[in-house]
Amino acid sequence: DTEVTQTPKHLVMGMTNKKSLKCEQHMGHRAMYWYKQKAKKPPELMFVYSYEKLSINESVPSRFSPECPNSSLLNLHLHALQPEDSALYLCASSHPMSDTQYFGPGTRLTVL
Amino acid sequence: KNQVEQSPQSLIILEGKNCTLQCNYTVSPFSNLRWYKQDTGRGPVSLTIMTFSENTKSNGRYTATLDADTKQSSLHITASQLSDSASYICVVSARGSTLGRLYFGRGTQLTVWP
């Protein structure tokens, strides 16, 4: 299995809602990443988990809360988002000693 | 400052024609360079990866070149198809960099017309 899956594909939420994005991989990768991508812009790194521990937080606002419950799963909990948080959220995974990242299809998030 | 610049920003070609996309980088020390294809609203998919010692690498109709001396790379697409319409992103990683640190170009938006 060489695939990173993400759910849901699309999400529309209000500014007072709480929602979660999910990412899963079964390639045995022990590093997992969350990126945010705005239209016509490159992906921006948000968080990196290595061996289920948060190793990088790129000064992301606390309304985004990552969680890595096990080596195959990565969640991104969303609360009190702003309209400017609307974007494509990409998950990726890799072996910790490799910089080859495999990307998921993304979740298109719209905040109303 | 580590940067990746791509040109052109956008490109329109007719189906069946060839095209070449450019990538210049200042990432140092250099580890490798990848070209990704990203369809609208989808995640990037790796096309090629090149290390310092590699000059050319092909993947079907895609051929990437790397000149590590001038810090330039190109992606040549042969006999374009409508499905080639996408954003092509050049991504560079640095040796010894922080886990997961990749440097992304802004991409070239390619449109193939019938």
| Per-residue model confidence as pLDDT tens digits over B70-92 | 999 999 999 999 999 999 999 99
In Å, what is the CA distance from B89 to each residue of A43, B44, B48, B75? 10, 8, 11, 10
What confidence category does residue A2 fall into, taking pLDDT thresholds of 50, 70 and 90?
A: low
Which of A48, A100, A103 is facing B49, going by the closest CB pair?
Answer: A100
Would you say residue B23 has pLDDT above 80? yes
* CA A73 – CA A22 distance, rounded (Å): 7
User: Distance (Å) from the C-alpha of residue A107 to the closest C-alpha of chain B?
Assistant: 8
Q: What value does the mean pLDDT take over residues A5-33?
A: 94
B41/A88 CB distance under 8 A: yes
Residue B48 is encoded by which pair of tokens? Answer: 């090629």
Q: What is the pLDDT of residues A54-95, one digit of tens each?
A: 998 998 999 999 999 999 999 999 999 999 999 999 999 998
Average pLDDT of chain A to the nearest whole number? 92
Among chain A residues, the shortest Cα distance to B34 is held by: A100
Quick one: pLDDT at residue A99? 72
Which of A45, A99, A105 is facing B43, going by the closest CB pair?
Answer: A105
Percent of residues, chain A, with pLDDT higher than 90: 78
Quick one: pLDDT at residue B94? 83
Residue A97 is encoded by which pair of tokens? Answer: 């000693």
Would you say residue A112 has pLDDT above 70? yes
